[in-house]
Structure 1
Amino acid sequence: MGLLMTFLGGIALPCRAYNIGATDPTGAGYQSILSQLISAVMGRGWFCDVAIASILSVLALSANTSFADFPRLTRAIAESDHLSHIFKIRGRRFLYSHGIYALVGFTAILLVGFGGVTDRPIPLFAIGAFLSFTLSQAGMVIHWKRSNESGRLHRMIINGFGAFATGVTLIVVLVAKFSDGAWITVILVPLLILLMSAVKRHYKGVARTISVATPINVANLEEPLVIVPLDRWTRITEKGLRFALKISTHIEAVHGDAEECSAEVRAMFQQNVVVPVHAAGLVPPELVLLQSPYRFVLMPLVEHILEAERTHPNRQIAVLIPELVVRRWWQTPLHNQRAQLFKLLLLLRGNQRIIVINIPWYL
């Protein structure tokens, strides 16, 4: 504390001697107090450049505190289920990377919102700091009230006075700087509390829904009805049908665009699927041809799967989706991404008895 008072006096006294004061951060030729003080004492030269660079280094080092502790804070909140569990995941460098990403994103939003003028968010910092001080001191009052240690009354009075002092300061700063951006905190803090409460309720509901206290249910282990979307005869289609034959004897190969090529599809299916499967002594898949108005094939496929689920109320429906996986990221837009949309539709409209299985073919 004495060292801090010395530094503060070392800045305040020369500022008074050289008649240096704060300038408008949005005006032309803006300089910070330290920049004006260094220029007045040492002039504009190499010393001024070194001093400003040193100040920048110190500020960068102090900013590291936020990047070191904010991810730990989000992890602690996520541990209590008040934030997404993604904040509990360690990154490649054993840091909680998603907390760092969130901090960078929030900082960018503040800088853009305040026009890049770093003086403007100071009221937010002041309110956040004094709010933290007030809550921590009030928490210590409650702690000492519940404690049975000797001298707890004396400590409770000290923490109570600290909570009162910082609380009054918080109110003063909030009223004085309300129009300068402090109103953001007034809105943001209750919204964050509501958001965290909603996240907590969600995790409680999920835990209550998926928890089970009984052993595995071995009743009704019937083979699933397997549905394989069929386009044309390729290695990708062959891999999907081969896997279907391994897991079930009740297979439907569904073609979703049969308005003009039904005869061609039937001939292809008979030659490449039915005949070889019969020759192997297996039950061949059933070919299902769907009409697709305007050649939009996904919705008829989804409706057929939902109808199959209603028709077979005691069986699971396994939907095998063969898809091409390219070797380079830039090749992805060159191929049809219908499989991704199909999976999304099934996940949104399906239920517990519909299982989606990816059958990837790697180039």
Structure 2
Amino acid sequence: MGFLSALKRTVIGRPIASKHAHLERLAIPVGLAVFASDALSSVAYATEEVMHVLVRGGTMAAYYKTLPISLVLILLMVTVAISYSQTIYAYPNGGGTYSVSSDNLGRNWGKVAGASLLLDYTLTVSVSVSSGTAAIVSMFPQTQPFMVPIALGAIALICLGNLRGVKESGILFSLPTYGFVVTMIVLIIFALTKAVTTPATPPNLPDDHLLQIPAWLLILKGFAASCTALTGIEAVSNGVPAFKAPSPRNAVRTLWLMIVLLGVMFLGVSFAAVQFGITPMDSSQEGYRTVLAQIAAKSFGDGSVMYYATLIATAAILFLAANTAFADFPRLASLMARDGFLPRQLMSQGDRLVFQNGIIILAVVAGGLVVAYNADTHSLVPLYAVGVFIGFTLSQAGMFIRFRRQKALLAHRLHVEDARGMSPDYPAAKAERGRLNRKMAINLFGGVVTFIVCWILLITKWEQGSWLVVIVVLGLMMLFYGIRRHYDYLAQSLSVGNQASDLKAIKSLTLLLVPRVHKGILHAIQYAQSSAPDCRALHVTLDAEKAKSVRNDWITFGADMPLVILESPYRSLIEPVIEYIDELRAKEPDMFITVIVPQAVPKHWWQGLLHGNAATAMKWALGSRKNVVITSIRYFLP
């Protein structure tokens, strides 16, 4: 095993056999940690984003809209979850929104859904680690200048955890997820207890004249900001195959457990923030603390053990919330690669049964966003959620079309059976029709609601940069089109058709590069003579006297192969060979030319610095020439 292979095994672990793939499936507790950490972690910043908007109104009436907006959002959560429960059972092989849209709305809408979700998963990583960095800065203000390096380090560690495999990453991330849930519940209980014994604290709001916003627009903007809490809900439906059997049932149970926990924690944090009169702070402000950190200080006491425990748990789950994207982005990318819209390298699973290429790409792109936006959560959030609500809408519409087609097929079957005198089972058909009608109603209602919310998000966040989402999605669509067009062109161009019967013998020529005559090239000479009847030895000379010596040695050695001496007036060892080969190809374009390059392999790696490697340079130089093959024959130095 080489050094790099040994290092790889040490870092990401030993390979896992394909037959053991079923052992890597997740139970509900671990599945919740893998697929729900994104949604659950949004509790740490969703309320704060709502308040960022509402406090700009400068009035008590606007501030106290935090709780009503939270309640409306919980109803939206339930609506979306009901729809995705149906999706999980309808598509047990995963794929979620992408598969639903492609199958029922057409390939183009499937690409829109795929582009939106790929963007959303990337933003999930950037927003989560940036928010986790903010939690660290709340605990240790002296770390504020190092927010970007901290965020990048977190992405690297999460990437490494996922490269080690699904099961290992799930176990690794279970403790922070459940630690966060427990600390949030304890925090909410303390806040409720104080609410009973202590009157509510009025907030310190800016003056009314600072910013005049119409009440209806303020509420819409606040609701749009709250929708960041819904990002990640679709993750479970994308990763159904990762659950233990029966996969659909376990996935649905995980989805509803996530919704219950998310709803309770989000509403509890919003209530505590309003009860304590807390307002959000700017990340550049001295003594900056997140809203959640301020709630913890009010509930447990500033600097107490539970205060730090809450912030540590918050930072941990925010960092690890990116794991949801690392679990789903590679799966979605592999599905789209299978359909020819992304490079095929994204389809292959690595040694640890994970889509390692997708994991690495996600880490690199998300890290670039962290650097570009200086790890500022508030700057990244406007780009967030728009993409996922596009996916929500397409998923609801796709499931509505699916159930409507099933209803039409049911009616057609009854009509055919009746026409053939087969006595259709009308009671069972009526029950089935009623079930389909209920499902259609759920998806129609959910689709209308998520479509409206999508436009609210797009319009209210337009000035903050939501227009970038539109540009990126369109750019990805063009990329998908270009990749699929390339693969379709190759498939057509490389199709064998009836050409197999036209195969005929071709002329071939072997050229052996001879730097000088020594024992190391003996095997190369034998291989060259056995590979083709027409073999020639080539020697590129920079010195006429040396050329005479090589010619004399070649004659003395007695190799049954002509030696061609090529002069190099410009001291290049590569150009004369290329020119010679081009001349041969010009005379006979269909001839195959094999260039054999003897290559020395030193005993120790550092000795390689003392030897040239003409094979690599020759491959680069001749790589684009048709019917030219480069072969390296290694000889080992003592």
Q: What does residue 312 of structure 1 align with?
A: 588
Report what 2:577 is aligned to.
301
2:629 corresponds in structure 1 to 355
Cross-structure match for 1:95: 354
> Given the two structures, how large is their TM-score scaled by the length of structure 1?
0.87
After the TM superposition, list the runs of 4 or more consecutive aligned residues in structure 1 that deviate by more than 6 angstroms.
none
- With over 3 angstroms needed to count, the CA separation of the structure-2 counterparts of 1:130 and 1:248, relative to structure 1, is same
Q: Please list the CA deviations of residues 42-93 of structure 1 after superposition, one character each: whole Å capped at 9, or x if unmatched.
A: 1112111111122233334433222222211111111112111111222121
Map Cα deviations across residues 275-325 of structure 1 (whole Å, 9 max, x no partner). 423xxxxxx322222232321231221121121122234532111122234
Residues 68-147 of structure 1 mapped to structure 2, 5 A cutoff: 68-147=327-406
The answer to whether the 8 Å contact 1:233/1:268 transfers is yes
Q: How does 1:331-342 map to 2 (within 5 A)?
A: 331-342=607-618
Report the Cα offset of residue 30 of structure 1.
2.0
The alpha-carbon distance between structure 1 residues 230 and 186, as it changes in their structure 2 partners (threshold 3 A), is same
Deviation at 1:332, TM superposition (A): 4.6
Q: Does the Cα contact within 8 Å between 1:325 and 1:361 map onto a contact in 2?
A: yes
CA spacing shift, 1:60–1:115, aligned 2, 3 Å = closer
Contact 1:321 1:357 in 2 (8 A): yes
Once residues 82 and 308 of structure 1 are traced to their aligned partners in structure 2, the CA distance between those partners, rounded to angstroms, is: 41
For 1:285, the equivalent position in structure 2 comes to 561
Give the superposition deviation at 1:183.
3.0
How many matched pairs?
A: 352
What is the distance in 2 between the residues matched to 1:241 and 1:161?
Answer: 77
Q: C-alpha root-mean-square deviation of aligned residues, in Å?
A: 2.5
Q: How far did residue 326 of structure 1 move? A: 4.3
SS in 1 for 2:395: helix
**1:24 is aligned to 2:309:** no
2:270 alignment partner in structure 1: 12
Matched, 1:237 2:521: yes
Question: Could you say which structure has the greater relative contact order, defined with CA pairs below 8 angstroms and 6 or more residues apart?
Answer: 2
Separation in 1, partners of 2:269, 2:475: 40
Structure 1 residues 289 and 135, CA, compared in 2 at 3 Å: closer, same or farther? same
Which has the higher mean CA deviation after the structures are superposed, 144-153 or 60-69?
144-153
Q: Which residue number corresponds to residue 246 of structure 1? A: 530
Report the alpha carbon displacement of residue 334 of structure 1 after superposing the two structures with TM: 4.2
**Per-residue CA distance 1:212-234 (angstroms, 9 max, x = gap):** 24547662254x21112222224
- The separation in 1 between residues aligned to 2:619 and 2:581, in whole angstroms, is 12
Alignment partner, residue 465 of structure 2: 181
1:26–1:117 Cα contact (<8 Å) kept = no
Summarize the Cα distance change of 1:360–1:208 in structure 2 as closer, same or farther, 3 Å threshold: farther
The aligned amino acid for 1:197 is: Y
Deviations 1:14-49 (A, max 9, x none): 212221121112333221111110011211121111
In terms of mean alpha carbon deviation, does 190-199 or 4-13 score higher?
4-13
**Where in structure 2 are the equivalents of 1:195-234 lying within 5 Å?**
195-214=479-498, 215=500, 219-222=504-507, 224-234=508-518
The CA deviation at 1:251 is: 1.7
Q: Taking structure 1 as reference, are residues 132 and 342 closer, same or farther at Cα in structure 2, changes over 3 Å only?
A: same
Distance change (3 Å), C-alpha of 1:45 and 1:256? same
Q: Is 1:163 the equivalent of 2:447?
A: yes
- 2:539 corresponds to which letter in structure 1? H
Distance verdict in 2 for CA 1:153–1:30, change over 3 Å? same
Query: In the superposition, relative to structure 1, how do residues 211 and 328 fare at CA in structure 2: closer, same or farther (>3 Å)?
Result: farther
Residues 313 and 2 from structure 1, CA distance in 2 versus in 1: closer, same or farther, beyond 3 angstroms?
closer
Measured in 1, the distance between the counterparts of 2:602 and 2:474 equals 47
Alignment match of 1:46 (pick from 288, 305, 308): 305
Query: Which stretch shifts more, 105-114 or 139-148?
Result: 139-148
Q: Distance in 1 between matches of 2:600 and 2:580?
A: 23
Give the letter aligned to residue 144 of structure 1: F
How far the C-alpha of 1:12 sits from its partner, in A, is: 2.0
Q: Does the aligned pair in 1 maintain the 2:537–2:564 contact within 8 Å? A: yes
Q: Following the alignment from structure 2 to structure 1, what is the Cα–Cα distance between the partners of residues 556 and 355?
A: 54
Structure 1 residues 106-115 or 288-297, which shifts more?
288-297
Aligned position for 1:281? none
Q: Secondary structure of the residue that 1:294 maps to in structure 2?
A: coil
Aligned residue in 2 for 1:321:
597
Structure 2 Cα separation of the partners of residues 85 and 3 of structure 1: 38
Which letter maps to 2:546? Answer: E
In the alignment, is the contact (CA less than 8 A) between 2:517 and 2:553 conserved in 1?
Answer: no
Q: Is the 8 A contact 1:274 1:285 kept in 2?
A: no
Deviation at 1:113, TM superposition (A): 0.9
Pair 1:271 & 2:553 matched: yes
Looking at secondary structure, tell me which structure has more helix per residue. 2
- TM-aligned CA distance change 1:27 to 1:83, over 3 Å: same
Q: Name stretches of at least 5 consecutive residues in structure 1 with no aligned partner.
A: 278-283
Q: Runs of 5+ in structure 2 lacking a partner? A: 1-258, 411-432
Query: Larger deviation: 182-191 or 141-150?
Result: 141-150
SS at match of 1:290: strand
Please, which moves more after superposition, 125-134 or 169-178? 169-178
Question: Aligned to 1:25, what secondary structure does the other structure show?
Answer: coil
Which is worse superposed, 321-330 or 51-60? Answer: 321-330
Q: Normalising by structure 2, what TM-score? A: 0.51
- Report percent identity of matched pairs: 28
